[in-house]
Each structure stands twice: as C-alpha cells, then as structure tokens.
Chains A and B, each alone.
Chain A
C-alpha cells in the first residue's frame, strides 16, 4: 500500500490575476522505503510538489493521502502537528539552528515531540555517529563545513523516525566529495531504517543514485522511471 498518494493534484498561483499553473493533475504514489528523485527544469513544479507533500502549501485542487489521511483537509494547527510527527525535512541551505550544537540540533524535533529526554539523547548521538559526526557532537553549525552541516540536517530529519523525508536540493551547495558522502549516508539510512526519501534535484549525482526518478515538465509528470536497487 502506498505511503503517499496524490490524486489530481493541481496548484495555480495568482488565480485571479495572471494564473500560473505550477502543478497540473499530478497523480503519484510512493511506497514505504522508496528512494525517489523528482527532477525537471526550473519552474517545472518540483518545489511546489515537495511543499504540497510536506503540507507547507495547500493545493488548488486534488488531494494528498498520507497513510490514508488527506492532509489537504487538515486545519493549520493539525497540519503543523502532522509535519512534526510524520515528516522529516532537509533543506538546500541546511537551515540548522546556529545557536545550538550538532547534538542539540538533532535533538530539537524530538524535544518538540516531547519524547523522553534520555531516549532523545541516545538517539541523537546514535544517528550523529551514523552520519560520521560522532566526534563533532558539541560543535555549532558555524564550526562545521557545508557537508558536515548538511549531514547534521539529515540526522535531524531522520532522528525522529518520520514516515518519510523530503529533501529539497540537498546537494546543491556541496562539493562532489561531500555530495557523495551525503548520498551514501542517506542511502544507508534509507536501507537500514526503511525510511521513504523523496528528493527534488537538478543534480545528476543524486539522479543516478535514485531508484525511482520522476520527471516533471510544466507541472505535469512527464516520466516516472524505476531504476531498481
């Protein structure tokens, strides 16, 4: 059964002035544990689709079922709580909290979820070890390289074991070596923890590693290819 399903998903910006169709009747389904890249030229609707899946934006029409819950019907407060408990986010610009250390950043979402303190600490350390930052637990973002910061961001997104992780151009700001390291880590976590990963990307390095590649053109699905594992 699909973890995520979009049915007739459309998004039109500036509906009353000059309408821009960002998504046009998108029907997609994502299974548990998938490693998917959403690709396409600029303005093809990648980020809009990711925002919809993450509950950060409302569609103009259609629905998004996540574990059979239509998140387009949720009120804002419920949606915030839904994001907190079910979705992990990785952003292009890392977006870590600069005043917190690596371990505090990773603990942050679990703290918002009010998980037990001891379990949070253990999980944060464990996942930072997994992303290769076991020796930088108490470093602040400014003391880490771009690649290390993005690894902390991945650890933060995965630490609370969300239903799926949405990553918006996660390698865009990384050099080749850092990008490969990050992809290795994400692949491993996807395999080990069976977490569904969905990327939006331009990056060929990411596309080559994805098991499923969805291409968007002008807001519609142009191709949906399965590359196998």
Chain B
C-alpha cells in the first residue's frame, strides 16, 4: 500500500515530477555518455598500444629487459617458438631482433630503434601493414628494405625508394653500417613511435649483427584476452630462465590510466548525481510542504513515524529510479549506437591527438559494472535526498497539521 501511495503521489503534480525526471534522465545520460567517451578514448589507446605494438605477452632474456644490449639475446628462440606453436592458447607469435642505432640520409641523421621482423609473421601479430600510407609492406625491394614512419621520413627528407644508412653495434661490439632502401612509409597514431622506430627484415639485420637465428624478443597474442594472466604464468613456469611479461607489466602507464579513468569517471558521475540530488530534494521538500494536512491526518489516524518516513523515502527512490532508468536507457542506447558508428574527432582535433598517441576515431563504451555502480550511486543519492524531506515530515505535529490551510 505504501509503495502504491508513493507511486501515485509522484504523479499528483505531473509537470513538477516530469521536470525533475527529465533532469535526472538527461543528466544521467550525459554523465554516462561522457564516461563512455572517456573510456572509449582510453580503450582506443589501449587497443592501439596493446594489440598493435606491445601485443599480449613478450618474452625476453631477463638481462635484455634491464640493459637492452644487443648481446642479451634469447639463446634458443626457435625451440621456444616450437613450444609456443604447440600451446593452444597462443594465437600468434613472432620473433623480433632489436638494436639501437642511427639512421642517416644524405643530410640528416637520427637515433632510432631498429626492429628486425619476419614481415608475414609480424603482420599476423600487429597489423604493421595496416599503417602503410605510401609504398609497400616489404614488397618490391629484394635487398635491405626498411619500413619507416612518416615523421622520420619527413625529418630525413626521405621518400619511398630513398637510400638510408643504418649504423649499429654488432654482437662483437663493432660498429656496423649498411645501406637500406625505403620500401614503405607508415603512419601510426603515435608520432613519437613514427619518428623513432624503423622495421627491417630479420633475414637482413641478423647477418649484419652476427647471428642468423638471433632474436631478442618474442611477442605473442593469446586467443582469449581474459586468459592472459594464466598464460603468462604458464609460460613463466615453462621457461623459468626467461622473463615473461604480460601487457600489464609492459605498459604500466596504460593500467594506471585505465584505473584512474574508471575511478575519476565514477567520481564525475557522483558529482553530477549530487547536483541532481539537490533537485530531487527540492521537489520532495515542496511535495512534503504541500501535503502538510494530509501527512498530519495520516499521523493522526495512526500511521506511525516509520511508515511516514518510509513513504517519503519510497516516493523519492521511485522518482529517482524512474528518471535514472530512463537516463540509463537513453545513455545505453546512445553509447551502443555511437559505439558502433564511432565519433570522428578529425574535424575538431586534426592531427593533434596523434602527438599524444591517440587516434581520431573514438568508440564510446562502458562495461556493465559501471552501469551497476551508477545505479548504486543513484540509490545512494536518492536516499540521501529523501532524508531531509522525510525528517521534515516527521516533525509535523498531527493536531496542528490537520488544520493547516
């Protein structure tokens, strides 16, 4: 009965209730949308970094992790690869050779990290080919092709077909130089990466370094994102002499960013809801003051304080949850739709986002727990907003209240 009265009371003043309902609906939908946009922004960065550069798990010689010396290679990479191929959780894996060096055109030189790859295997792992904007992905140049970023090409004043010289230290500690021909130019969303990373074939760089089978890194993708931690532990047990690291360890700033974003967004939602809470409080306070005589009558005929309190609480919670449900539905609909369509920021941001390693397309998304946390916050705010009007109702003196005009 109390819930029935509470629900009907909400609709006694339709325009006032609708005003606050619409305010809650729009406020909450906007808060969810803003949160989904931020999460999409972070997720885009995450996808780019994890799926396209870092991959899910990397395996190194532990010394290489600390010093990054060319001599700190994996001792038996082919054997490790064979074992990885037998592991059903491993979707793709590829070997990489790493060396720090200097790349020089006729007029300019620049420090770079040289990554030796097996182009076909790498393509299956990181979509390096997808970043190609000019030339080809390791096709058309038979000897010493190099795949460089647009930023570096601009800096070196190089183009497809240009000859560049790579200088680096070989396994014997001697400086080696070799001429490479630009086969393709790529452009990722990370300007710094495009300026400091060049890709060559392992089959070209390894002999120059002094080891045909040389590899410093194995990068791999799991077939199930949720199983990465388990796979990492399994591989670490399988290769105890190596250092096996998952993306969380490899990109700690991403983990921190994800956690901070999630926490700050729920705080943002809380602030917005707190503002709406004052609107709810105002509506309920007006409602209580308008019904002084009725509340007095209820108390006079024997409705105890607990029930009066509960009735006001029910009214507030029902009002808030009706608005919140509408807001969540609207927010969910918008997020789902924009999550498929994407939001293109190219018009407003141009290429500036790329400086910070972000792309222009944002696909808003929110995980289910966020909706649940928001629902909990709505309940909390509704209950807090209801307290003052409910206590005001309890302070009424029935004998006086029933005579109020």
Closest residue of B by beta carbon distance from A51: B399
B302 close to A95 (CB less than 8 A) = no
Q: A98-B294, A100-B5 are in contact. Are A83 and B301 (CB under 8 A)?
A: yes
Interface string of A71-115 (1 = CB under 8 A from B): 000000100110111010101110101111000000011011100
Interface string of B280-304 (1 = CB under 8 A from A): 0000000000000110011111111
* A contact residues around B302 at 8 Å (CB): 80-81, 83-85, 87, 109, 112-113
Docked CA distance A98–B12 (Å): 9
A54 interface hit (Cβ, 8 Å): yes
Interface string of A105-144 (1 = CB under 8 A from B): 0001101110000000000000000000000000000000
B8 interface hit (Cβ, 8 Å): yes
B1 interface hit (Cβ, 8 Å): yes
B5 close to A111 (CB less than 8 A) = no
A95 close to B304 (CB less than 8 A) = no
* A contact residues around B303 at 8 Å (CB): 80, 84, 112
Docked CA distance A56–B301 (Å): 10
B3 vs chain A, min Cβ distance (A): 12
* A contact residues around B268 at 8 Å (CB): none
B299 vs chain A, min Cβ distance (A): 7
B399 close to A57 (CB less than 8 A) = yes
Pick the most buried of B1, B307, B399: most chain A CB atoms within 10 A of its CB. Answer: B399
* A contact residues around B8 at 8 Å (CB): 99-100
B27 interface hit (Cβ, 8 Å): no
B9 interface hit (Cβ, 8 Å): yes
Contact of B294 among A83, A87, A95 (CB under 8 A): A95
A80 close to B5 (CB less than 8 A) = no
B402 interface hit (Cβ, 8 Å): yes
Interface string of B302-318 (1 = CB under 8 A from A): 11110100000000000
A95 close to B12 (CB less than 8 A) = no
Closest residue of B by beta carbon distance from A94: B297
Interface string of B251-265 (1 = CB under 8 A from A): 000000000000000
Pick the most buried of A57, A80, A91: most chain B CB atoms within 10 A of its CB. Answer: A80
A89 close to B300 (CB less than 8 A) = yes
B1 close to A99 (CB less than 8 A) = no
Docked CA distance A97–B298 (Å): 9
A80 close to B304 (CB less than 8 A) = yes
Docked CA distance A99–B304 (Å): 20
Closest residue of B by beta carbon distance from A50: B399
A5 vs chain B, min Cβ distance (A): 21
Contact of B12 among A84, A99, A111 (CB under 8 A): A99
B323 interface hit (Cβ, 8 Å): no
Interface string of B1-14 (1 = CB under 8 A from A): 10001001101100
Docked CA distance A84–B308 (Å): 14
Residues of A in contact, count (CB < 8 Å): 27
B398 interface hit (Cβ, 8 Å): yes
Pick the most buried of A84, A99, A100: most chain B CB atoms within 10 A of its CB. Answer: A99
B370 vs chain A, min Cβ distance (A): 36
B301 close to A109 (CB less than 8 A) = yes
Docked CA distance A83–B305 (Å): 13
* B contact residues around A81 at 8 Å (CB): 302, 304
Give the dominant DSSP class at B's interface: helix
* B contact residues around A156 at 8 Å (CB): 301
* A contact residues around B297 at 8 Å (CB): 89, 91, 95
Closest residue of A by beta carbon distance from B298: A97
B307 close to A112 (CB less than 8 A) = yes
Contact of B398 among A56, A93, A100, A111 (CB under 8 A): A56
Pick the most buried of A54, A57, A98, A112: most chain B CB atoms within 10 A of its CB. Answer: A112
* B contact residues around A85 at 8 Å (CB): 302
Contact of B402 among A95, A97, A99, A100 (CB under 8 A): A95
A83 close to B5 (CB less than 8 A) = no
* A contact residues around B294 at 8 Å (CB): 95, 97-98
* B contact residues around A80 at 8 Å (CB): 299, 302-305
Closest residue of B by beta carbon distance from A113: B302
Q: A109-B301, A111-B1, A112-B302 are in contact. Are A95 and B307 (CB under 8 A)?
A: no
Closest residue of A by beta carbon distance from B299: A80
* A contact residues around B403 at 8 Å (CB): 47, 92
B300 close to A99 (CB less than 8 A) = no
B301 close to A89 (CB less than 8 A) = yes
B17 vs chain A, min Cβ distance (A): 13
* A contact residues around B1 at 8 Å (CB): 108, 111
Contact of B300 among A77, A83, A111 (CB under 8 A): A83
* A contact residues around B307 at 8 Å (CB): 112
Closest residue of B by beta carbon distance from A153: B297
Docked CA distance A97–B12 (Å): 11
Considering only residues 1-42 of chain B, those with a C-beta below 8 Å from chain A are 1, 5, 8-9, 11-12
Contact of B293 among A54, A83, A93, A113 (CB under 8 A): A93
Interface string of B367-401 (1 = CB under 8 A from A): 00000000000000000000000000000001100
Docked CA distance A91–B297 (Å): 8
* B contact residues around A108 at 8 Å (CB): 1, 301
A153 vs chain B, min Cβ distance (A): 9
Closest residue of A by beta carbon distance from B405: A93
B185 vs chain A, min Cβ distance (A): 72
Docked CA distance A108–B297 (Å): 12
A118 vs chain B, min Cβ distance (A): 15
* A contact residues around B301 at 8 Å (CB): 83-84, 89, 108-109, 112, 156
Interface residues of B (CB under 8 A from A): 1, 5, 8-9, 11-12, 293-294, 297-305, 307, 398-399, 402-403
For the complex of A and B, the 9 pairs showing the least CB-CB separation, nearest first, are A84-B302, A99-B8, A95-B297, A56-B399, A83-B302, A51-B399, A80-B304, A57-B399, A111-B1
A-B contact pairs, 5 of them (CB 8 A): A77-B304, A83-B301, A99-B5, A99-B11, A109-B301
